[in-house]
Structure formats: structure tokens, C-alpha cells
Structure 1
């Protein structure tokens, strides 16, 4: 349905959670693509975007650009050899796309509770889950790391546990491009990593994802499975074994323009969050999501806080912020709270359920102006005081 002028003006006045933020450089890469008369040929944007990402991530990685992070997860599961009936462990506080990708691979998800500090996977509960699933005779084929709202999970502990149990680790950095652990970028831990470029993320291509490979052989298999081949070289039988997961040249062109400002976007979001922390630091019962320690740094995707005070509920806070012209949102509904997934094994005492009841995200887009940030901070302070 076409929006009226009035609807657009209302949307513009409201301070949105995380709007796409263009650099202006995207036009250069898209223009080069559009000026190429042979646009059906694989062009420079996809290759260039993959190279830009690999250079940024370092750690001798190579990158395969795809049409979604779900596709990247699916390919990662295929490459590590997931079979029907295998189990894949992930945290309960994750996006449903992770569960969908597990289902696409024919596996079953096992959910692990969050820890209080980072809101990510609790390593102690992970150890319990592995021991119990093994006792039940289950085959755990992979563990998926996630970094809620850009805050890295306890990577070192989870990596140690995965290594001791000989379970491949897949680093889902969909929300954490720019986050680090001891200087190493999220997305480069484990055997493979996953990135997402959704419209609300730190950088955006309005859809799209990438698989980060630590071995050249992984890249070869990923490109084959994704259908990144000249169509004239694929026979009917061959094509039936592949997926249409390729990223388009136009999407990659936007990505190349976004990569020119990635570091600035991360810095801006972290600065925004620091402003909110300072503004709300004296309010009783209000705490922010924290990294494991000073060796870890968030990507600052969203500014997430916890309201433990009995003075106001999250729902009331969201409603009053909306009245003030500010969009806020609950954190993701934990997977174990979906009726569809209540039968999945869950390990923990339910910290993630408490987080869902008490946590909310504030606007943290890199396009926010100082005046808008002040409006958000002052409104939140007034409502929570």
C-alpha cells in the first residue's frame, strides 16, 4: 500500500530504533555496475565486497557473499557435515532464523540459557547441556555462538568447551560486525563465521549475508553449494544439488560503499550508548548490557538496558517512550518462549526469561543527531526516575 505524505511526515518525526545510514559512496559502486553493458556477467562488486570484508576481518579469512545470513548458517551446517537427527546447540536468546537454518539442515536445536552480564550463552549451562546430550546418546554436530545486540558472548570459555569436546564452533556475528575479543573480530572465531547486512544493522545492504571461511576448501564448497558458478557449466543433475544463495551485484555495490564507513559507524554507536549510560547511571534498578571484561568490545548495534525496578514495567516504558516520539523495543523473544519451540531441550534456570521481561532497546542508529540523542536520554530519564 502506498503511504500518504502525512504518513511519511509522522514517520520522519519519530526517533527510530536503527535506521539505515548511507555513506554516499554507494552511488560510485552502483554507478560502475549500471554503466557496465554486460550486467549479466559476474562483476567486480561481489568480489570486491568479499575482499573488503576479508581485509577488515583479517585472521587469514576468506568471505563468500550470500543473499542472507540464514543461507550462510545453512551452508556452514552443510560444510561441517550436519546430518538428519544431529543436534546443534545455540543460545535461547537468538533470532528465529538460527532455528530455521538448523531445521533446513535436518538437525534439531538444543537451547542454552543466558548469563546475567552479557545476556549471551552461559558457558556453565553449555557444559551441562553437552554432558547430558552425550549421556542420552545424541550426536552434537555444532555449537553456534551468538552476540546479542552486538555484545560478544564469553568466546574464550565457549571456545575452550567446544575444543575439549571436539565440537565445531560456528561464530554467528550477524549482530556483531565490528565487535572484538582481544582485538580479534567477531565472525572469525571457530571453524566458520556468519555476517548479516539487514537494514537495521551497523552496515546494511538492505538484505544479504556472508559466510566467513577459515579454510580455502570451505570457500570452494560454499561457492559450489550457493550456486556461484557460470550457468553454462552446470548440468541439470548438478544444479539440483545446489541452492540459489548468491548475493547480487547491486546489493554488493551497496555493501562496498558501506564498508568505507564501517569503523565510523561502530564508533558512533558506541558513543551513543555511552551517552545513555551516563544519562541513566544514577537511576536505581537500571543497568546496561555488559561485555565479559575489558578485553571484549561491543559493536554497539543497539543500546540495551535492563529495568529491574518495580516502579515501571517494560511495556509501560515502551508506551511512554512512544508517546514522547521515541521508538523502543523489547529484546527478542527467547526461542524457548515460542509455543512452536517449547518442546526443544532447554538448559538453564531461566535467566533469559527474566531478561525478556525486563530488558529493552533504545534508538542507537549512527544517523541520529545530537538533539535526537538528547531527546531519547531525557525522555528515558524522566520516565524511569
Structure 2
């Protein structure tokens, strides 16, 4: 029996990536910048609707870091951040000497809870510390409660940074994730819905913002014949080679999304008759999720005492990768002293949730193996 490793989310090439990379070699654009970078940015801009300038960067973390800088965050400030997320959402806050203020999720989209968000804003302001920015995440590709979160950011005049690292192609009421806040962040890490092997992008609102982001990302070099610097800069630009991979990946983005959504449908059907297991789904027709990862919540009380960890181990024994949901940031040792607002939603999701293999390159045989293990379990 074939026992090849089934990965949670592995890179999936489309075919033309090598063409763009070869062009870079043929023209000797093996450099940090070049035609593929501007072409990739243009591809992303057109995909997002043609109104949002995009700066291609070395990672999604770099994009978050620059977004915070451009939002005016400095040492001693406070930044509100969704607690249930990957650590890269929170780490750049600390890079700048600011303090993360973590907020619980709500149970529908698993994203930042508007009620807890407003509680955090009011309490921090009462303590004399108005938050400098809000980082809200579209977890696993699911849009957060856009209208409520955007309304709060505007009501309190706080810049909103959308962490759309997992949500390229997702949209709410027809508008793409990454285009609702003051800045949007994308990631093209190897496990994302498309990849540049490593890379990210900052979605801006104006050309001036993009130009400033690019300036900061290229060591903040002043306009002079010699190397002169009036600001601290960073080496955050995407390479022309990696951007070439991205150009090829953009050609298959929509098909990758369709295949990920098909995997979500596969799991929905697989668990339909199994009590105690809930597959993460869109709450209404307003939401369109790319289902970067399909996740489930296991109620052990309805599953003969079996929990998500038991299922993870059963899959692991069959050489199938699965993974618990993100461990909330307020439970992480490195952020133990950070303030937290909300209840136990994120904690409960972490305890009971499991991400399942969701790649756009999974085969029928892979799905049969997954089905056998889950049915047996």
C-alpha cells in the first residue's frame, strides 16, 4: 500500500513558473529587483481590483512590520492584535518596542471578536493609552466580521491592518480580503495557496504609500549619487527570481482556490454523518473563503471520549499530517505578560480544533487514504 507522506499544505506548481525564472536568468536579472517584481506586483494589483498598489516583499512578516511603521507605531505604543493567529502577526509589534494587546475570537468566523475589540479599545483609552493600530486576521482564509471591525476602527480613528496572509482570493460581499483596512498583508510562504518559495506583499491605498514602503524596504536610501540614509531602512524587497515563481503561480491561483474549496466539500461530506465533528464553514453567502486550510472542531463528549489529539495521532500513524489550530498568542510563554480581552473562545477552539490536509495537489488516492483512517477512527 502506498504510504507516501500526505502533507497539510504543500507547494503546487502550475507549469509556467520555470518560464519566468528562466527569463530572469536569460536576461541576467538575477538581482533583488527586475521585471518579474514589477510584473508580479501588477498581477496582484489587477487581481485585487486594480485600485490598490502592491509592494512585493520578502515575507508577510516584513509586510506587517512596514505596515506598523507606516501606521506610526513606535516604542511604548500599544497595538491590538487578534490572539488566535500565527506568531508572525504579533512579533513585529515587539520589533518596534510596542506592546501587543490581545483580543479573543468570536465563534462564527473564529476571528477577532468585535465586542472584545471595543472593550479593549475603551479600557486602553481609559488607561491613557489609545491603541496605535489594530491587526485583524482572516484566519484560514475566512474573512473576519468586516463591517463591525472596520466600523470600530473608523469610530475610534485607529489604523486597521488586515493580516490576509492566509486569505488571498477570499472576499466579503465581493470585495477581496486585504482591501478593507488601511493596509493589507499577503504571504507567499511555501505552504500558502500560492507560493514564491518565500515572500509576501503589502497592499496599500495610495501610490505614495507603496513608494514609501518600497523606500523603506530597500534600505531607505536617499536620492543621492552616494549612499546616504536619513531613515532606518530594511532589506525587505522580493527577489526577481522569487517573483518569477509568483508570476507563474498567479496564473493558477483561481484553480488552486477551487481545488481547496473542493477539499472543504470533501471533508463536509466525510463528516456529515459523524456526530460531534463540525467542519469550519462560511457563515453566510456574504463570505467567500479560499479554505486555505479546512479545519474541524471535535466535541469529545459526542465522540465516545475521543478528542482532536486522538484523531491527530491516528492520522500521524498513517503518515498523514494534521495540526491543531493556532495556539492563541495570550497563551504563548513569550507573551505571558501581555494584556488580554475576551473570554475562552480562542482557547476552546485550540483545545478542540484540528487542521486537515487541504492542498490543491491532493490526489484521489490521498483522499481515499484519509477517508479510511477517519472512518476507522
Same fold (TM over 0.5): yes
Distance apart, 1:126 and its partner CA: 0.6
The residue that corresponds to 1:112 in the other structure is 103
The residue that corresponds to 1:47 in the other structure is 38
SS in 2 for 1:130: helix
RMSD between aligned residues:
2.0
Is 1:355 paired with 2:349? Answer: yes
**Which of 170, 181, 199 is the equivalent residue of 2:190?**
199
Distance apart, 1:374 and its partner CA: 2.6
**Which of 77, 82, 93 is the equivalent residue of 1:91?**
82
8 Å contact 1:119–1:289 — kept in the other structure?
Answer: no
Q: Measured at CA, do residues 45 and 228 of structure 1 come closer, stay the same or move farther in structure 2, by a change above 3 Å?
A: farther
**Which of 317, 337, 344 is the equivalent residue of 2:338?**
344
Give distance in 2, aligned partners of 1:269 and 1:234. Answer: 49
SS in 2 for 1:13: coil
The residue that corresponds to 1:269 in the other structure is 260
8 Å contact 2:186–2:200 — kept in the other structure?
Answer: yes
TM superposition score normalised by structure 2: 0.95
Task: Describe the superposition over 1:18-48 as per-residue Cα deviations: whole angstroms up to 9, x where unpaired.
Answer: 1100011001101100101354483210000
8 Å contact 2:220–2:231 — kept in the other structure?
Answer: no
**Structure 1 regions of 5+ residues with no counterpart?**
1-9
Q: Measured at CA, do residues 41 and 266 of structure 1 come closer, stay the same or move farther in structure 2, by a change above 3 Å?
A: closer
The residue that corresponds to 2:248 in the other structure is 257
Distance apart, 1:11 and its partner CA: 11
Q: Compare 46-55 and 225-234 and name the one that shifted more.
A: 225-234
Q: Measured at CA, do residues 79 and 215 of structure 1 come closer, stay the same or move farther in structure 2, by a change above 3 Å?
A: same
SS in 1 for 2:295: strand
8 Å contact 1:154–1:292 — kept in the other structure?
Answer: no
**Which of 373, 376, 380 is the equivalent residue of 2:374?**
380
Give distance in 2, aligned partners of 1:313 and 1:154. Answer: 29
**Which of 337, 343, 364 is the equivalent residue of 2:358?**
364
SS in 2 for 1:257: helix
8 Å contact 2:30–2:241 — kept in the other structure?
Answer: no
The residue that corresponds to 1:3 in the other structure is none
8 Å contact 1:280–1:381 — kept in the other structure?
Answer: no
Give distance in 2, aligned partners of 1:182 and 1:14. Answer: 38
Distance apart, 1:240 and its partner CA: 6.0
**Which of 56, 70, 81 is the equivalent residue of 2:47?**
56
8 Å contact 1:265–1:366 — kept in the other structure?
Answer: yes
The residue that corresponds to 1:76 in the other structure is 67
Is 1:186 paired with 2:172? Answer: no
8 Å contact 2:32–2:238 — kept in the other structure?
Answer: no
SS in 2 for 1:306: strand
Q: How does 1:1-385 map to 2 (within 5 A)?
A: 13-37=4-28, 39-40=30-31, 42-58=33-49, 60-227=51-218, 233=224, 235-238=226-229, 241-310=232-301, 311-383=305-377
Aligned residues: 374
Distance apart, 1:206 and its partner CA: 1.1
Give distance in 2, aligned partners of 1:340 and 1:184. Answer: 36
Distance apart, 1:231 and its partner CA: 9.5
Task: Describe the superposition over 1:166-192 as per-residue Cα deviations: whole angstroms up to 9, x where unpaired.
Answer: 111111100110110011111111111
8 Å contact 1:169–1:191 — kept in the other structure?
Answer: yes
Distance apart, 1:236 and its partner CA: 4.3
Give distance in 2, aligned partners of 1:63 and 1:71. Answer: 14
